[in-house]
A and B are shown apart, each in its own frame.
Chain A
Amino acid sequence: MSVEARERRQPWILLSPALTAVGLLLFVPLMFIVVYSFWLRTATGADQAGFYFDNWNEALTDPFYRDILLSTLRIAAITTIACAVMGYPAAYFIARARSNKALLLLLLMLPFWISYIIRTMSWINILGVSGAVNWLLLNLGIVDEPVQMLYNEPTVILGLVHFLLPFMVLNVYVALEGIDISLEDAACSLGSTRWQAFREVTLPLSLPGLAAGGLLCFVLSAGTYITPLVLGGPTDAMFANLVFEAIITQLNWPLGSALSLMLLAVLGALVLIYNHYLGMAQLMKGLG
């Protein structure tokens, strides 16, 4: 075998374990879901194999699914904006810190050491009727009876921000780290204020990081179902809750498959738009 042929094969040999894993654990199950979405649920809960468009017809035409999908995208958008507003200053602070940078990054990563569900449930002990905030308010005499703060849309968004903020901070931090700090000094030496230098130089250069963080926050929050289940009220369901219900409660795997593919298509389209304008490289940097 020639050297060229061997060199051409080498990347594929090295990639083969990863490609096999992705193929078996992602694409094959995905194909099963695609096939399932064309099946039907019988009255007993058993699946009827075949090629029917009933589930797709229901998923695409029923306003119930459309409304919940739009509501999910709205919550994901609010969460993403909140993460950006809160995450950018934190990332800027870490990137510009002269010392203890490693410690700050470690603190940022600390929440990942605790289960997402536990972190979500911790809000019950903070905001609940018998929680820390109410205890403080009552003891300070600010309120006479506990304030009902849990189980509504704001607490769902709060839980999502709590979960996703580190993803935003890390992505913005990576982008800010790549910017030469002397650029801001150069702008100042040319007459701009610190704020102008930030607005005209640093912010535009860090936008790819902000966009990558935004994409991650948006996709992850749009796909969540635990947070609304734990912190949401009766009507605070998100689209993933519909998938969960179709598959688990109604035992309607075919409809659940169609709904999950619908969500995947919407979020996939967002990723494609992102990739078209900004490319995936920035996202990889943030994830790395």
Chain B
Amino acid sequence: MDSTKRYERLRERYLNGDLDRRKFLGLIGAAGLAYGVQTPFSRQALAAAEEVRFDGWGGVVSEAFRKYAFDPYTEKTGVKVVDGTFGGGDEYLSRVKASQEGEYNIAHLSGVFDYARYVNLGLNSTLNEDNIPNLKYVIPKLTDVFRGVTDGKLSCVPYDYGTTGIAYNRKYISDEEAKEKGAKLLIDAAYKGKIGGWSDWRTRVWYASLQTGQDPNNATDMDAVWEAVRTNRDLLLKYWQSGAELMSLLAEEEIYVTEGWSGRIYALQEQGHDIGYIDPPNGFGWQECLFVIKGSPMAEVEELLNFMLAPETSIAVAEGQNYPPALDPNKVDLGKKIPTLPAFDPTGTLDGLTFANPDYWNGHEADWSKTFGRIQKGY
């Protein structure tokens, strides 16, 4: 019952003689007080469902989301999308852990291991897939791995995939040399002081595994891995912290070679920089998803996810951010640009990419992140 109806009933009772004047005025006063106290909070509660917060990697990725997904979605539904950015998954998880439920809604997470970490911390929600019919266009292999973590249910929708390969300045390093040396290019003493590296312990351990001839998802000689991480550290100019810094270091020729994110390197190439990019054998493949955090307004979020998975939106975002979409090329015509993007798999099976095994990586997270933190500082 709204306040107007309640007042009308009260007035009717008063006019019928059921209430004396003092009681009537008292009840009107109490109603006014209750309305005054309740209204600001109810407005806030309603406002929360009128906007959804999205956090992503910033830069060209955020620009693509804003231009091709959020603005058209807001125009269509009236639901505002507030977008924030983060420099890395670890930093963002810390922010979410410190937040109030509902403060963060959708995150553009990388890797199944991140998905598993959020689930382990109880930060996930369960999607009603009936509200996301566009899920049918997604490569089945991408959803299956997430379902494996959350008992067949989904807390995210897969959105895109890419690789962390080796990026090099062709002015100083030829394609042939890069192909021949592969991951070992990052520990080549000839480029001392001109090598960059992401300050992410997983990437460092992954590439050190490749440099020591081991399976990145099952390294057995960790001493050799850490030694390779040390060798790489001693040759580095700098550990970069974000995609923007990666692009700046390469574009300004502060560094000649680094591992890099396929989409960011493609963006540099589009800007005219002569940067080569290769995925060495067993290079780091990853998939990104739109993860829904516990306490989010599910109806609005599911509607946004469905909108973002619509082929026209998904393809436009993919072309903007330069990462292939999670859409199955056997079900959706992906246009002309996407098949040219690095890491794109035309078969839709993704068999050519090596993804991180979440059990292996999350099982070693506490030890390895700490060990890398020490090696990074010269130990």
- Which residue of chain B is the closest to A44 with respect to CB atoms? B120
CB within 8 A of B201: which of A46, A247, A249? A249
The smallest C-beta distance from A148 to any residue of chain B, in angstroms, reads 6
CB within 8 A of B253: which of A130, A150, A250? A130
Cβ contact within 8 Å between A64 and B374? yes
**With A46-B120, A64-B374, A234-B376 in contact, is A249–B237 under 8 Å at CB?**
no
Cβ contact within 8 Å between A234 and B236? yes
Q: Is B191 interfacial (CB-CB < 8 Å)?
A: no
CB within 8 A of B237: which of A44, A233, A251? A233
Cβ contact within 8 Å between B233 and A235? yes
Cβ contact within 8 Å between B377 and A237? yes
CB within 8 A of B377: which of A68, A151, A247? A68
- Which residue of chain A is the closest to B241 with respect to CB atoms? A229
A137 to B120, CA, bound (A): 55
Cβ contact within 8 Å between A234 and B239? yes
Contacts of B379 in A (CB 8 A): 64
**What is the 8 Å Cβ interface bit string for chain B, positions 5-21, against chain A (1 contact, 0 not)?**
00000000000000000
Cβ contact within 8 Å between A234 and B254? no
**With A129-B253, A130-B252, A248-B90 in contact, is A235–B377 under 8 Å at CB?**
yes
CB within 8 A of B94: which of A150, A234, A248? A248
The smallest C-beta distance from A283 to any residue of chain B, in angstroms, reads 32
A148 to B193, CA, bound (A): 9
Cβ contact within 8 Å between B121 and A46? yes
Cβ contact within 8 Å between A250 and B376? no
Contacts of B121 in A (CB 8 A): 44-46
A43 to B365, CA, bound (A): 8
Q: Is B366 interfacial (CB-CB < 8 Å)?
A: yes
Q: For A124, A233, A234, A245, which residue has the most chain B Cβ atoms within 10 angstroms?
A: A234
Q: Is A41 interfacial (CB-CB < 8 Å)?
A: yes
Q: Which secondary structure dominates where chain A touches chain B?
A: loop
Interface residues on chain A, number (Cβ under 8 Å): 31
Contacts of B193 in A (CB 8 A): 148
Q: Is B93 interfacial (CB-CB < 8 Å)?
A: yes
The smallest C-beta distance from A260 to any residue of chain B, in angstroms, reads 14
Q: Is B42 interfacial (CB-CB < 8 Å)?
A: no
CB within 8 A of B366: which of A148, A151, A242, A250? A250
Q: Is B218 interfacial (CB-CB < 8 Å)?
A: no
Contacts of B97 in A (CB 8 A): 45, 251, 253
CB within 8 A of A150: which of B239, B254, B362, B378? B254
**What is the 8 Å Cβ interface bit string for chain A, positions 2-45, against chain B (1 contact, 0 not)?**
00000000000000000000000000000000000000010111
A237 to B375, CA, bound (A): 11
Q: Is B295 interfacial (CB-CB < 8 Å)?
A: no
The smallest C-beta distance from A81 to any residue of chain B, in angstroms, reads 24
Cβ contact within 8 Å between A233 and B376? no
Q: Is B84 interfacial (CB-CB < 8 Å)?
A: no
Cβ contact within 8 Å between B117 and A45? yes
Q: Is A128 interfacial (CB-CB < 8 Å)?
A: yes
Contacts of A150 in B (CB 8 A): 254
The 8 lowest CB-CB distance pairs between A and B, nearest first, are A235-B378, A44-B120, A249-B90, A237-B377, A130-B252, A151-B238, A250-B369, A248-B94
By a beta-carbon cutoff of 8 Å, the part of chain B in contact with chain A is: 88, 90-91, 93-94, 97, 117, 120-122, 193, 201, 233-234, 236-239, 241, 248, 252-254, 362-363, 365-366, 369-370, 373-374, 376-379
| Chain A to chain B contacts (Cβ below 8 Å), 26 pairs | A41-B366, A44-B117, A45-B93, A45-B97, A45-B366, A46-B120, A46-B122, A64-B374, A64-B379, A129-B253, A233-B236, A234-B378, A235-B377, A237-B377, A241-B377, A245-B373, A246-B373, A247-B94, A248-B90, A249-B88, A249-B90, A249-B201, A250-B90, A250-B373, A251-B97, A252-B366
16 additional contacts, CB 8 Å, given A233-B236, A246-B373? A45-B93, A45-B121, A45-B365, A64-B374, A129-B253, A129-B254, A130-B253, A234-B376, A235-B378, A245-B373, A247-B94, A249-B91, A250-B369, A250-B370, A250-B373, A252-B370
